[in-house]
């Protein structure tokens, strides 16, 4: 009666994501979950008292526990900044990891969830490379032909900023053959490159970010992302 156990679908997806990107030379990087305000906001061109900070409700650590203002990272982007600072172009990286938002929870929102962000910086990197990379990733991850389209958006650390919709072509899945809003992306803002010691007149790059929980909803048909973190074997043992 005792068979093999079960890996959590989040761990499985992260392993698959790493494999897909590693084939193209993207390094799996990581950073702290308790992140300084500097890295979570300032170095990402998200200025204090700017409305862009409203996009993310933030958990702040108590001042007595930290040496400088610190938050639970609201995005994995600070890992990108730390990577840019410690490497020189050309560079390719992904940084899947846990992130936190101080907001009410429901079937599609959790106070903790996982994000996959990535970047590619080199001479002559353009939006076409971004589109190609995202299509490459999704077609492998969803094992099918995927088309991607861009719409204008805004994220302080990219310019231009993009909303990415994807379409799984063919197949009879509920998600097939229609556009689904799936991630934010863009060309890395010159201020962010400069801040990390990379000359924006010589190098350009793209960055993207996607909720892995959202990918799980699409990949496995999960109806409530809270199951991911409920510690319930009735959920995990299905995988």
Q: Which of residues 143-202 bind other proteins (CB under 8 A)?
A: 143, 148-154, 156, 159-163, 187, 189-190
- The residue within the footprint of other proteins, chosen from 38, 42, 66, 176 (CB under 8 A), is 66
- 206 strand-pairing partners: 120, 187
- The residue within the footprint of other proteins, chosen from 39, 41, 100, 203 (CB under 8 A), is 100
Those residues whose C-beta lies under 8 Å from the C-beta of residue 72, and which sit 6 or more positions away, are: 33, 34, 35, 58, 59, 61, 99, 100
Under rule CB under 8 A, residue 135 binds other proteins: yes
Helix H or strand E encompassing 200:
none
Query: By C-beta, is 48 or 170 nearer to other proteins?
Result: 48
Q: What is the DSSP letter of 142?
A: T
- Binding to other proteins in span 101-120, by CB under 8 A: 102-105, 111-112, 120
Under rule CB under 8 A, residue 89 binds other proteins: no
**In angstroms, what is the minimal distance from the CB of 176 to other proteins?**
14
Query: By C-beta, is 102 or 177 nearer to other proteins?
Result: 102
Under rule CB under 8 A, residue 12 binds other proteins: yes
Number of Cβ atoms within 10 Å of the Cβ of 16: 14
Structure tokens at 177: 């053959």
Under rule CB under 8 A, residue 73 binds other proteins: no
- The residue within the footprint of other proteins, chosen from 85, 106, 145, 232 (CB under 8 A), is 232
* Site size toward other proteins, by CB under 8 A: 104
What does each C-alpha distance from 47 to 31, 63, 105, 165, 219 come to in angstroms? 22, 20, 27, 28, 36
- Binding to other proteins in span 15-44, by CB under 8 A: 15-16, 18-19, 22-25, 27-30, 32-34
Under rule CB under 8 A, residue 2 binds other proteins: yes
Stretch that binds other proteins, among 37-45, 74-82, 96-104 (CB under 8 A): 96-104
Rg from Cα positions in the chain: 18
Stretch that binds other proteins, among 37-45, 74-82, 122-130 (CB under 8 A): 122-130
- The residue within the footprint of other proteins, chosen from 132, 169, 197, 202 (CB under 8 A), is 132
Dist. CA 12–CA 158, nearest whole Å: 30
Under rule CB under 8 A, residue 225 binds other proteins: no
Number of Cβ atoms within 10 Å of the Cβ of 69: 14
Stretch that binds other proteins, among 37-45, 64-72, 74-82 (CB under 8 A): 64-72
135-142 CB contacts, 8 Å cutoff, 24+ apart: 136/20, 136/24, 137/17, 137/20, 137/21, 138/166, 138/168, 138/182, 140/20, 141/16, 141/17, 141/20, 141/215, 141/219, 142/168, 142/218, 142/219
Structure tokens at 68: 């400088």
């Amino acid at each position: 009666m005792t068979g093999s156990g079960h890996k959590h679908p989040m761990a499985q997806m992260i392993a698959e994501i790493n494999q897909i990107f590693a084939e193209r030379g993207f390094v799996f990087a990581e950073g702290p979950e308790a992140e300084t305000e500097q890295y979570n906001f300032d170095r990402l061109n998200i200025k204090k008292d700017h409305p862009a900070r409203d996009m993310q409700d933030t958990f702040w650590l108590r001042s007595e526990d930290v040496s400088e203002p610190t938050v639970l990272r609201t995005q994995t982007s600070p890992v990108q900044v730390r990577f840019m600072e410690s490497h020189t172009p050309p560079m390719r990286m992904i940084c899947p990891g846990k992130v936190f938002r101080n907001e009410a929870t429901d079937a599609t929102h959790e106070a903790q969830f996982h994000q996959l962000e990535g970047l590619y910086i080199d001479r002559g990197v353009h939006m076409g490379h971004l589109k190609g990379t995202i299509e490459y990733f999704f077609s492998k991850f969803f094992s099918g032909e995927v088309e991607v389209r861009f719409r204008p958006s805004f994220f302080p650390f990219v310019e231009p900023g993009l909303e990415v919709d994807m379409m799984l072509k063919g197949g009879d899945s509920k998600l097939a053959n229609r556009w689904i809003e799936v991630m934010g992306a863009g060309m890395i803002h010159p201020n962010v490159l400069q801040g990390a010691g990379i000359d924006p007149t010589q190098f350009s790059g793209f960055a993207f970010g996607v909720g892995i929980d959202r990918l799980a909803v699409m990949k496995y048909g999960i109806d409530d992302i809270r199951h991911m973190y409920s510690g319930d074997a009735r959920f995990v043992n299905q995988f």
